[in-house]
Amino acid sequence: MDEVIKYIKENRERYIEELKELLRIPSISTLPENKEDMQKTAKFLAEKLNAAGLNRVEVFQTEGHPIVYAEWLGAPGKPTVLVYGHYDVQPVDPIELWETPPFEPVIKGDKLFARGATDDKGQLYVHIKSVEACFKKHGSLPVNVKFIIEGEEEIGSPSLEPFILANKELLKCDTVLVSDTSLYSAGLPTLTYGLRGLCYMEVELTGPNRDLHSGTYGGAVANPVNVLAKMISQLHDKNGKVAITGFYDGVIPLSKMERENFKKLKFSEKAYMKELEVSELAGEKGYTTLERMWARPTLDCNGIFGGFTGKGAKTIIPSKASAKISMRLVPGQDPKKIEKLFTKFIKSIAPKSVKVQVTSLHGGSPVLTPLTHKATIAASKAMERAFKKKTVYMREGGSIPVIATFDKVLKAPAVLMGLGLDSENLHSPNEHFDLNHFMLGIQSSAYFFDELAK
């Protein structure tokens, strides 16, 4: 292993240059104008997988953006690792808040700034480079490796789900390795064993058939924006619990052991508030902040719109009002069931004065992975060897919907070897990735293959 690690360290500059090249392609999955860029990114990754020494590199076209696949199965009798990552990124707006252009990567200190740097191009590239280093030094890998890299994670993986179902044999593996989460803190090796699920809904209210003069009609008909605001306020009770009937049915409560483990992770509410510039934290009563973020379900309004939102004043009673509402789910909750409960509840609280339309945008199931699985133990040892510190375990408030599908369809638990930091502005202006974690990640990945083969 020493030679592999030495090779990785010697190739730092080239690795970073290659990552910058990957970051220059604006692979925003949600925007139609970037459709060609998705093809370009897939091709770039296929070339790099090929150059790293993998076989059967293929770009699969889908109804949406392409899926990149590669494999090396030269270690019969050894476990098979499926490395998953996503090459798509979030939109860049508000663009005016970026200090440097999002698709012109720049290094400041130890940080590489660009859209996708930490989520997820920088993190996924780690595994391509670790494979390359192993092949360069040993001509082989200690385990079998498959790669699956999609371009639709940020839009709910609509093409990958059916792809997995249709390609069970191709994707057959013992464990899924993913770097698309965060370290608990800088330099601290971390494994994430839980992800929240998601149920994302949109509500549209229609009042009168057109915008009305608010002087002439005000006081006579219901205002959909007023009604919507009132309805949204009814979605939580006074203790911060979600008020939807049946919402908490089946939620697996936090065990005493888990609560104690969370407490052991030093979490400073004061520092957290300071970083966010808020003077109070909020949420469900009876739980600590980490518990609320990682292990309790939530409901949030992501956006609310309707009526006049331009500059200045316009006196109207709007015809329509809408809200985008997402719920983060925890083990024991099913996104499809929550979708039904939400729809029923919204309809039950809407007054007759408005018409209601509820639509589902996307969703995903929550995940809990067993800490006793041999891949998790191998990953823990691997990170300790690279970071030279003891690995900590955490859950994550965010979601990677496809992980639950891998678990269900391939019966393969995931190792979530995240290398990002929550403070690296993912989905936000000035996204960046700590290059020390990039380098330690490549080493962790190589050590992981070594540990898993033992």
> What residue ranges bind ligand BES (CB under 6 A)?
119-120, 153-154, 156, 180-182, 198, 362, 364, 396, 398-401
Whole-number minimum distance, CB 362 to ligand BES, in Å? Answer: 6
Which of ligand BES, Mn ion, none binds 181 (CB below 5-8 Å, type-dependent)?
A: ligand BES
Cβ–Cβ under 8 Å, residues 265 and 394: yes
Q: Which residue has the tokens 């992770």?
A: 265
Q: Which is nearer to Mn ion, 37 or 119 (CB)?
A: 119
Whole-number minimum distance, CB 201 to ligand BES, in Å? Answer: 13
Which of Mn ion, ligand BES, none binds 425 (CB below 5-8 Å, type-dependent)?
A: none
The answer to whether 119 contacts Mn ion (rule: CB under 5 A) is yes
Q: Which is nearer to ligand BES, 144 or 376 (CB)?
A: 376
Q: Which is nearer to ligand BES, 231 or 402 (CB)?
A: 402
The answer to whether 180 contacts Mn ion (rule: CB under 5 A) is yes
The answer to whether 120 contacts Mn ion (rule: CB under 5 A) is yes
Whole-number minimum distance, CB 161 to ligand BES, in Å? Answer: 12
Chain position whose Cβ is nearest to ligand BES: 398
Determine the 3-state secondary structure of 322 from DSSP.
strand
The whole-angstrom distance between residue 17's C-alpha and the CA centroid of its chain comes to: 25
Whole-number minimum distance, CB 85 to Mn ion, in Å? Answer: 8
Which of ligand BES, Mn ion, none binds 362 (CB below 5-8 Å, type-dependent)?
A: ligand BES
Whole-number minimum distance, CB 446 to ligand BES, in Å? Answer: 22
Cβ–Cβ under 8 Å, residues 130 and 1: no
β-pairing, 190-195 vs 367-368, is: antiparallel
Whole-number minimum distance, CB 322 to ligand BES, in Å? Answer: 19
Stretch that binds Mn ion, among 17-25, 112-120, 217-225, 300-308 (CB under 5 A): 112-120
Q: Which is nearer to Mn ion, 380 or 399 (CB)?
A: 399
Taking the C-alpha atoms of residue 251 and residue 330, their distance in angstroms, rounded to an integer, is: 7
Q: What count of other Cβ atoms lies within 10 Å of the Cβ of residue 227?
A: 19
Stretch that binds Mn ion, among 173-181, 221-229, 246-254, 350-358 (CB under 5 A): 173-181
Taking the C-alpha atoms of residue 431 and residue 154, their distance in angstroms, rounded to an integer, is: 15
Question: In terms of Cα–Cα distance, which of 123, 80, 108, 105 is closest to 440?
Answer: 123
Long-range (24+ apart) CB contacts under 8 A made by 5-9 are 5/443, 5/446, 7/133, 7/136, 7/137, 8/129, 8/130, 8/133, 8/439, 8/442, 8/443, 8/446, 9/439
Which of ligand BES, Mn ion, none binds 450 (CB below 5-8 Å, type-dependent)?
A: none
Whole-number minimum distance, CB 403 to ligand BES, in Å? Answer: 10
The answer to whether 152 contacts Mn ion (rule: CB under 5 A) is no
Reading the block at residue 62, the tokens are 């889908």
The whole-angstrom distance between residue 179's C-alpha and the CA centroid of its chain comes to: 10
Taking the C-alpha atoms of residue 407 and residue 418, their distance in angstroms, rounded to an integer, is: 18
Count residues contacting Mn ion (CB under 5 A)? 3
